[in-house]
Amino acid sequence: MKITQVEAIPFAIPYRKPLRFASGEVNTADHVLVRVHTEDGVVGVAEAPPRPYTYGETQESIVAVIRKIFAPELVGMSALEREAIHARLHRTVGNPAAKAAIDMALWDVIGKSLQVPVTQLLGGYTDRMRVSHMVGFASPAHMVAEAQRVRSEYGITTFKVKVGRRPYTLDVEACRALREGLGEDVELYIDGNRGWTPSESARALDEMSDLGLTLAEELCPADDVLGRRWLVQQCKIPFVADESVARPGEVARELLSGAANAISIKTARTGFTTSQRVLAQCEGLGVEAVIGNQIDGQIGTMCSVVFGAAFRLTSQRAGELSNFLDMSDDLLTDPVRIVDGTVAVRSQPGLGIEIDPEKLARYRQDN
């Protein structure tokens, strides 16, 4: 499994409608396709979605760090030398999405070489993931209409509502409208992307205490150190750390300091190898985990399914796996399907996905 080439290919696929949230918005999936080639002719793939407002990476920076630093470090190594590969990658600080995509492409290489699905190599716990859909900023009526459409078309009954605009008016109104419009049978939880202060968060949670919300994610910044701890102490539902836990050290810090008591695991930022370690931290410390969405395309979504379904803890809750539905197209030969609110793992070796060469030619940005 000797690595002969690591490619970083920028591509851009427009969204049919933008996804808006407190820290930014996405109009185009300007992602990077990572391909790792071996001397046996095996090619592993993954995608890196840049999120400058979360981790500082851009499409250009991901391409540059892979081409200039990571590819020369990895060529000549075996895909099985996973720990040594990670040691090399971590000589460079930051760049989580670039590192994660390389890690997942290497797992795809290993799975394809061994002719085994990666989800089985990782843990093989179950064969599907329930899906949670993220509802972005819009008027409360539009948010309700979107959730109703997604429920009736795909059978999805779990929704993460983006908040972090105006706490006591618009945000609370939107959550209330969603509960009224969808009924008691759906699961609703909120994600503030750091848009509220600790005291705004506390008051908004209080005003929504009758809505049966199940999780509160990153309502205020982790840098509001004492305020966040104060908020989490009084929060009656698990408080999920997302963008504040991009590394295992941050997971430990947030959990042990009382700044969160649940963790969003995103394969787009911790790949499979580091996500396993984050998951072990959650299990060891006894906190819940949610498979989050870094506004992934279908490649990234399958990576989340591969990882989420591999383990008991990550498959207990619905994973955030549906936002590719807003993209106008994608790169896979066999598109991801959401049926009865679930996505099934695939039985093919590796990640179980193939890139359509014509689509890649159409959307790549480096021709």
324 contacts ligand MUC (rule: CB under 6 A): no
Tell me, yes or no, if 217 is annotated catalytic.
yes
Provide the minimum distance between the beta carbon of 360 and Mg ion in the complex, in angstroms, as a whole number. 29
Spot the catalytic one: 99, 112, 160, 162. 162
CA angle at 245 for the pair 193 and 45, rounded to the nearest 5°: 95
295 binds, among Mg ion, ligand MUC, none (CB under 5 to 8 A by kind): ligand MUC
The closest of 198, 242, 187, 237 to 218, measured between CA atoms, is 242
Number of residues that bind ligand MUC (CB under 6 A): 11
Are the beta carbons of 24 and 281 closer than 8 angstroms? no
Whole-angstrom distance, CA of residue 46 vs CA of residue 104: 6
Contacted entry of ligand MUC, Mg ion, none for residue 311, CB cut-off 5 to 8 Å set by kind? none
Catalytic residue status for 288? no
Task: State in angstroms the smallest separation of the CB of 294 from Mg ion.
Answer: 9
- Is 117 one of the binding residues for ligand MUC (CB under 6 A)? no
281: left (phi over 0), alpha (psi -120 to 50) or beta: alpha
Catalytic-residue membership of 191: yes
Does 184 participate in catalysis according to the annotation? Answer: no
- Name which position in 3, 29, 31, 54 contacts ligand MUC (CB under 6 A): 54
Binding residue for ligand MUC, selected from 195, 292, 319, 352, defined by CB under 6 A: 292
Q: Does 295 bind ligand MUC (CB under 6 A)?
A: yes
Q: Residue 10 is inside which H or E element, if any?
A: strand 3-21
Q: Which stretch binds ligand MUC (CB under 6 A): 207-215, 277-285, 290-298, 352-360?
A: 290-298
Two structure tokens written together for 15: 């969204």
Footprint (CB under 6 A) of ligand MUC, residues 10-39: 21, 23
In the structure encoding, which two tokens stand for residue 354, read together? 């193939």
Which residue in the list 7, 47, 191, 250 is annotated as catalytic? Answer: 191
Q: Is 317 in the site for ligand MUC (CB under 6 A)?
A: no
Footprint on residues 124-163 left by ligand MUC (CB under 6 A): none
Q: What is the 3-state secondary structure (H, E, C) of 156-221?
A: CCEEEEECCCCHHHHHHHHHHHHHHHHCCCCEEEEECCCCCCHHHHHHHHHHCCCCCCCCEECCCC
Q: Is 58 left (phi over 0), alpha (psi -120 to 50) or beta?
A: beta
- Selection from 319, 341, 294 nearest residue 19 by Cα: 294
Interface stretch with Mg ion, choices 41-49, 109-117, 201-209, 238-246 (CB under 5 A): 238-246
Positions in the binding site for ligand MUC (CB under 6 A)? 21, 23, 51, 54, 191, 193, 242, 292-295
Annotated catalytic sites, by residue? 162, 191, 217, 242, 266, 294
